[in-house]
Structure 1
Amino acid sequence: MNGFAALGILLGLVAVATAGGLLWRATTGRSRSARGHQVLAPADVDVAAFGDRATLLQFSTEFCAPCRSTARVLGSIADDADGVRHLEIDLTDRPDLADRFRILQTPTTLVLDGTGAIRARIGGAARADDVRDTLHRILGSDHVTA
């Protein structure tokens, strides 16, 4: 293989890796509508109750740095929105839930409506504006403040 071919292959690999990284960065922390219609009960995740209107169900692990900042963001949003509750589940204690909900990264947040139906999923550190927009879609504008 000559030097030009090797340089071309190297540049191609760098371009593919860069494009993949940019795509990953653009989608991480963004809310995606849930596929299917799965409804949870509080007992499914060992909590006493969900929020009356919505629940921000965050899955974390003990040593996850982005999980702490996500918990602060989600807790603040839940405090500002009527009937919304933020719950954090440590997957270190409940690894079975990671398999059940197909959690591949922490933090992962499931946005549940008042009936416990999973309406959206956020992989990675949640972005406050995106969470508010998702709650706005679920609850309507009179329940979510910026």
Structure 2
Amino acid sequence: MNGIAALGILLALVATATAAGLVWRATTGRARSARRADTVRAAEVGASAFGERATLLQFSTEFCAPCAATARVLEAAAREEEGVAHVDVDLTERPDLARRFAVLQTPTTLVLDGTGVIRARIGGAARPADVRGTLDRILGSDHVTA
């Protein structure tokens, strides 16, 4: 192979990796509507109760660096809205839940409505604006921020 062909292949690989990285960065941490309307019960994930209006169900692991920042974002959102709870589940202790909810990365957050139905999913570090927008959509326009 000559030098020009090798350089062309190298540039194509760099362009492909850059494009993949940009797509990943644009989608991680964003709320997406749930594909399936699964219902989650509090006891199923080891929680005593969920929020009466919505629940931010976070899946983390002990050594996950972005999990702590996501927990702060979700806790703040739960404090702002009456009837919204934040529940954090350590997948190190509950690997069965990773399979059940198809968690491929931590943190992963499921946004549940008041009946426990999964309404949205956030893969990666949650962005405050996305969490707020998702809660606004689930709670409707009649909610009042504390």
TM beyond 0.5: yes
* 8 Å CA contact 1:132, 1:144 repeated in 2: no
Deviations 1:59-104 (A, max 9, x none): 0000111000000010001000111000000011111111111101
Query: Residue type of the partner of 2:82?
Result: D
* 8 Å CA contact 1:59, 1:109 repeated in 2: yes
Query: Residue type of the partner of 2:137?
Result: R
| Counterpart for residue 12 of structure 2 | 12
Give the TM-score of the pair, scaled to structure 1.
0.97
Identity rate, percent: 73
Any stretches of 5+ residues in structure 2 without a counterpart? none
| Counterpart for residue 122 of structure 1 | 122
Structure 1 residues 66-105: aligned runs within 5 Å: 66-105=66-105
| Counterpart for residue 40 of structure 2 | 40
Tell me the secondary structure at the aligned position of residue 109 of structure 1: strand
Alignment length, in residue pairs? 146
Give the TM-score of the pair, scaled to structure 2.
0.97
The runs of at least 4 aligned residues of structure 1 exceeding 3 Å deviation read none
* 8 Å CA contact 1:135, 1:144 repeated in 2: no
**Equivalent-residue separation in structure 2 for 1:59 and 1:20 (angstroms):** 25
| Counterpart for residue 3 of structure 2 | 3
Tell me the secondary structure at the aligned position of residue 66 of structure 1: helix
